[in-house]
Structure formats: C-alpha cells, structure tokens
C-alpha cells in the first residue's frame, strides 16, 4: 500500500472508514500494532489527557501515516457508552471499523470496555491482545519509567525507535568552549527528560543528523544549574536558531561532581572517546 503521511487538517472526516482509539503518547510498538489493522482510509483518534510527554501532541503525527484527530479527555469522559459511540458515528459518518487494545475503556468512570464497545458499535471492533517486547508489556507508563531510570536501550526497544526530544537553542555559561568542549545548550519543554547523566546521542540540526554526546543534569561541578548540552562529534558547528532534535541511544555514566575543572575535562574527553568508539563499531 503506497501511502503518504496525512495531516488531519487536510483529510476530510467523511472519508474515514476505520479508526484506532487511545492516548497514543509515545506512538510505541503496541500503538503501531493497532495501526496495522486500519484500512487505507484509517485515522487515529487521540484522546488528550494533558500528560503526554513522550510524543507531545504537536510532535505525534511524525510517527504515523494516518491522520490524527485529537479530542480532549475532559470533554468526553462524562459520556455514557452509547453517547460516546454516537459521537464517533457523527464525527466519522462512514465509520465501519474500530481498533482498540485489550485494556481500552471509555465513558463515564471508564465503565465501558471492549465487550461493551462491540455491543454498542454497529460495525467491526478489532481488539488487540497485550503486546510485549522481551516479555515486557509495552505501555507509555512503562517506557517513562525506563527513561527516568536511564535505561534508554530498553525504552527504545519498547518504542520501536530511538527516543527523540525537541529543544530550542539557548546560550550556556560560556565555559564550555574555553574550558571543556563546545556544546549546544537546549531549553526543552513538554518532553520527558531521561535520568541525569551522559548519553550517546544523535543530534539533528537543519535536517542533518550528527553523531553526538549529550549531558543532562545539574552542573554540579560548575554553577549547579540544570542543563541539556550536546557536543557534536567530528564537526565544527556554529550556534544557530534551529530547533534541535536529540535522539538518545545509550547512557554512558551518571552525573558526577568533580573536584576541579581539570578532572571534569579529562572525564569529558574519555566520554567522547568512548562515544566515538561506539559509532565506529556500529558502522
């Protein structure tokens, strides 16, 4: 099936014949499994709780070819089951198929679940059994715990891709280039940040991807403030105003307090060598 990425702004709801329903923060492996059951006029119905921080609303469309329509949880959660289904039928008049996961519940007090949906909806209801990766159930909340723990590799397995955040470049303390190595400092909003520490990463600037190393955390050795700083390997990068994207690959070590700038600098150089070795060995 040859398909281009659709934006919900451009796709008329009257053409939609199948939908997948849920929160869809992360657009992870299990979410993608649901989408596989959509037909070519499929769409994603994303119920916004306001807590999404793996793929905040405006970054979600990137991860599916199906158009995403957003609904605010607070405005629909009071509905009785029949009214919820009625709303879907009104929103999508040609709707024939609904895809949800085994634990999908809806309506007032989440009282209605998959069996009730089958009863109430006049069409096909596909219910996907719990998806696991290496025996670990795939859920946004599970992925968040791995990220908070610094276990990027496990988080990435459940995501089915590298965890990626977006940030805006800001000016740092101005110490980096002089005393350590040059870094791009980022202000990150909306996204969950992994545990404090040093990570092997890739950084995307102006659509170009670079191998990089990223420090996240309180700069306990210098001014104590929280920072997200990326050093691009093997290239001289001028600071610019581009929105910067960071893909996390692997944690190297925890954040540490050093007795002197000298010791911190030595450690940073070691971290960089380890990261370079990583990239040499995977290519």
Ligand X SMILES: Cc1cc2nc3c(=O)[nH]c(=O)nc-3n(C[C@H](O)[C@H](O)[C@H](O)COP(=O)(O)O)c2cc1C
Bridge partners (DSSP) listed for residue 126: 99
The verdict on 21 binding ligand ATP (CB under 6 A) reads: yes
DSSP at 253: E
- Among candidate residues 134, 73, 143, the one with its CA nearest the CA of residue 108: 73
Bridge partners (DSSP) listed for residue 215: 198, 229
User: Which of these segments, 12-20, 85-93, 140-148, 213-221, binds ligand X (CB under 6 A)?
Assistant: 213-221
From 102, 111, 175, 253, residue interacting with ligand ATP (rule: CB under 6 A): 102
The verdict on 98 binding ligand ATP (CB under 6 A) reads: no
From 176, 192, 211, 247, residue interacting with ligand X (rule: CB under 6 A): 176
Name the residue nearer to ligand X (CB basis): 61 or 245.
245
The verdict on 23 binding ligand ATP (CB under 6 A) reads: yes
CB of 101 to ligand ATP, least distance (A): 2
By CB under 6 A, the residues from 95 to 134 that bind ligand X are none
From 101, 107, 167, 217, residue interacting with ligand ATP (rule: CB under 6 A): 101
CB of 151 to ligand ATP, least distance (A): 16
Distance CA 272, CA 269 (A): 5
The answer to whether 265 and 215 have CB atoms below 8 angstroms apart is no
The answer to whether 220 and 197 have CB atoms below 8 angstroms apart is no
The answer to whether 65 and 6 have CB atoms below 8 angstroms apart is yes
The verdict on 107 binding ligand ATP (CB under 6 A) reads: no
Beta-carbon contacts of 202 under 8 Å, excluding residues fewer than 6 positions away, are: 162, 209, 210, 211, 212, 246, 247, 249
> Sign of torsion, CA 120 50 148 32?
positive
The verdict on 175 binding ligand X (CB under 6 A) reads: yes
The verdict on 229 binding ligand X (CB under 6 A) reads: yes
Angle (nearest 5°) at CA 20 between 192 and 163 = 25
By CB under 6 A, the residues from 262 to 281 that bind ligand X are 264, 268, 271
The verdict on 246 binding ligand X (CB under 6 A) reads: no
Task: State the binding partner of 100 from ligand X, ligand ATP, none, CB within 5 to 8 A by kind.
Answer: ligand ATP
Footprint on this chain of ligand X (rule: CB under 6 A): 172-176, 180-181, 183, 185, 198, 213, 215, 219-222, 229, 231, 255-256, 264, 268, 271
């Amino acid at each position: 099936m040859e398909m281009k990425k659709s934006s919900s702004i451009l796709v008329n709801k009257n053409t939609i014949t199948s939908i997948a329903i849920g929160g869809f923060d992360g657009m992870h492996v299990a979410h993608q499994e649901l989408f596989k059951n959509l037909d070519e006029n499929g769409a994603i119905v994303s119920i916004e709780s306001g807590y999404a921080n793996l793929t905040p609303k405006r970054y979600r469309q990137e991860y599916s070819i199906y158009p995403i329509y957003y609904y605010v949880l607070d405005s629909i959660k009071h509905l009785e089951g029949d009214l919820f289904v009625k709303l879907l039928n009104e929103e999508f008049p040609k709707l024939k198929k609904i895809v949800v996961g085994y634990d999908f519940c809806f309506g007032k007090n989440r009282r209605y679940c998959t069996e009730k949906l089958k009863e109430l909806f006049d069409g096909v209801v596909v219910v996907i059994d719990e998806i696991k990766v290496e025996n670990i159930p795939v859920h946004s909340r599970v992925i968040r715990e791995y990220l908070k723990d610094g276990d990027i590799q496990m988080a990435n397995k459940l995501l089915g891709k590298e965890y990626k955040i977006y940030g805006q470049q800001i000016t740092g303390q101005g110490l980096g280039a002089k005393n350590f190595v040059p870094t791009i400092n980022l202000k990150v909003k909306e996204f969950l940040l992994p545990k404090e520490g040093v990570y092997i990463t890739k950084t995307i600037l102006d659509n170009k991807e670079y191998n990089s190393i990223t420090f996240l955390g309180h700069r306990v050795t210098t001014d104590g403030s929280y920072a997200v700083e990326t050093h691009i390997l093997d290239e001289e990068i001028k600071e610019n105003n581009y929105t910067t994207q960071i893909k996390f690959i692997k944690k190297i070590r925890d954040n540490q307090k050093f007795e002197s700038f000298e010791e911190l600098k030595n450690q940073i150089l070691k971290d960089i060598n380890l990261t370079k070795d990583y990239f040499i060995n995977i290519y």
